[in-house]
A = this chain, B = another copy of it.
Amino acid sequence: MPSTRNELDAKDLAILELVQRHGDWSHAEIGRQIGLSVSAVNDRIRRLVADKTITSWAATIDPAALGLHLLAFVNVLIDRSEAIPTFTAAIGEYAEIQECHHLAGEWNYLLKVRVRTTAELERFISDELKAKLKVTRTFTTIALDSIKDTHALSVRP
């Protein structure tokens, strides 16, 4: 078995472009758009999933419908290096953390956090990040509005 991933041809890219925006379209619909038979689309999608080029399928939910009206970006600094493994291991457990990226530069991590209220954000930062996870310092920025918020990637030849 090849450890290198197969190259993606133009039709694979066209499929990826469609499914990342319309994960609910039938293979027939996709095939119609890009000029492929249903089973060809089926074969390709199956290969892309086996490849792990497609890693998952998901429904996108409106945060407001769940009362998650506050979006914040929290920069995190952790001074003591022994606190880092605990921190990275715990991130997955927090449903309010949508993203956690390890950064180059002044701060260690950038968190994208969704909560209901500022009180909840305050509690999350104080009790969870600082108290439990031994975060040294944080710098938080509130998002007023999201112009764009997708996971769709740039699909180009």
Interface residues of A, Cβ cutoff 8 Å to B: 5, 8, 16, 19-24, 51-63, 65-66, 68, 71, 73, 88, 91-92, 95-105, 107, 109-110, 114-115, 141-156
Total identical chains: 2
Flag if B73 contacts A141 (CB, 8 Å).
no
Given contacts A66-B154, A98-B150, A153-B114, contact A56 B21 (CB under 8 A): yes
Flag if B58 contacts A105 (CB, 8 Å).
no
Cα–Cα, bound, A97→B147 (Å): 11
* 21 chain-A/chain-B pairs, Cβ below 8 angstroms: A16-B61, A19-B58, A20-B61, A52-B62, A53-B61, A55-B62, A56-B59, A61-B151, A66-B155, A73-B110, A98-B148, A98-B153, A100-B147, A101-B147, A102-B146, A107-B141, A114-B153, A114-B154, A115-B154, A149-B151, A151-B151
